[in-house]
Amino acid sequence: MSNKDMDKFDKRIDKERIRDKDRDTLKVIESVFDFQTSMLIVKLMNNGVIKDIGFCVSTGKEANVYHGYGYKNEELAIKIYRTTTAEFKKNWMYVEGDPRFKGYKKGTYSFIYTWARKELKNLKRMEKVNIRAPSPIIVTKNVLVMEFIGKNQEAAPLLKEVKLKKANKTYSDVIDMMFRLYQDGRLIHADLSEYNILFYKKNPVFIDVSQSVLLDHPYAPAFLYRDISNINRYFASQGVETDTDDEIYEQITGTLPSPKVKSIEF
């Protein structure tokens, strides 16, 4: 932040009567995020959504996730999408083919706000059909608040970080979740791998679903096939005797993948 922005920030805090401890909390993000994002956190505090925001759970090219608490002392995951990254330019195809977001603007800020809303909508859809994923709470511009997967400030590990005792069962669970997401949720994760699955209470939990697409997206079949390939590759490396990519695709969709679907590269 510039000195000018910091002055504005302090004046707004005084005006809105933010407590000293809340000002300290905001220092966690001041060095990373812009003035507007900081003020969104202030508003979420004032509106009774966030009581406290603390340490960074994970960092990524598109967003950082912070641990926080709500006013019922429930643990929260606060995902703050970066507004200065070029990574989002690679993601337009996930939105352009989604009928839920027709007419979105391609400006950086507009797209990032759309991207955040898309994750909220996808999480709601997953929750509705009982797919294990963080329960969404609210999104405002580039800030998404959702359930924290973990306990006592300890985040659940990524699947890639876990030494699985029952790898075959976990593999079956993931394939079943993909099947139910497709058949019941009419949705495809579209970036599924060991990096976007948490392992909590002996169960896989899908995360990072902004890019997830409906079945009528023009690239939906290719995204699904890529997800299957990623999952099979990982579990094969863990000693699991997996079905072939084509077999899993047929199990999920009821049809075999076309040569075109198998040949598309992203």
Strands (E), 142-232: 143-147, 150-151, 154-155, 187-188, 197-200, 203-206, 213-214
CATH class, 11-154 region: alpha beta
Residues belonging to the active site: 191, 208
Mean pLDDT in residue range 27-45: 76
Predicted confidence (pLDDT) per residue in 102-154, tens digit: 776 667 788 899 999 999 999 999 999 999 999 999 999 999 999 999 999 99
Q: Residue 52: pLDDT above 70?
A: yes
Fold of 156-263: Transferase(Phosphotransferase); domain 1 (1.10.510)
d(CA 165, CA 198) in angstroms, rounded, equals 15
74: nearest Cα among 147, 23, 144, 14: 147
Distance of CA 169 to the CA centre of its chain: 24
pTM assigned to the model: 0.87
139: tokens are 């999104």
pLDDT digits (tens, 9 = 90+) for 176-224: 999 999 999 999 999 999 999 999 999 999 999 999 999 999 999 999 9
Q: Given this model, what pLDDT does residue 9 score?
A: 46
CA atoms within 13 A on the CB side of 203: 12
Q: Give the integer Cα–Cα distance in Å for 261 and 37.
A: 40
Handedness of CA 229, 230, 233, 238 (dihedral sign): negative
Ordered by start, the domain boundaries in the chain are 11-154, 156-263
Residue 231 neighbours by CB distance under 10 Å: 24
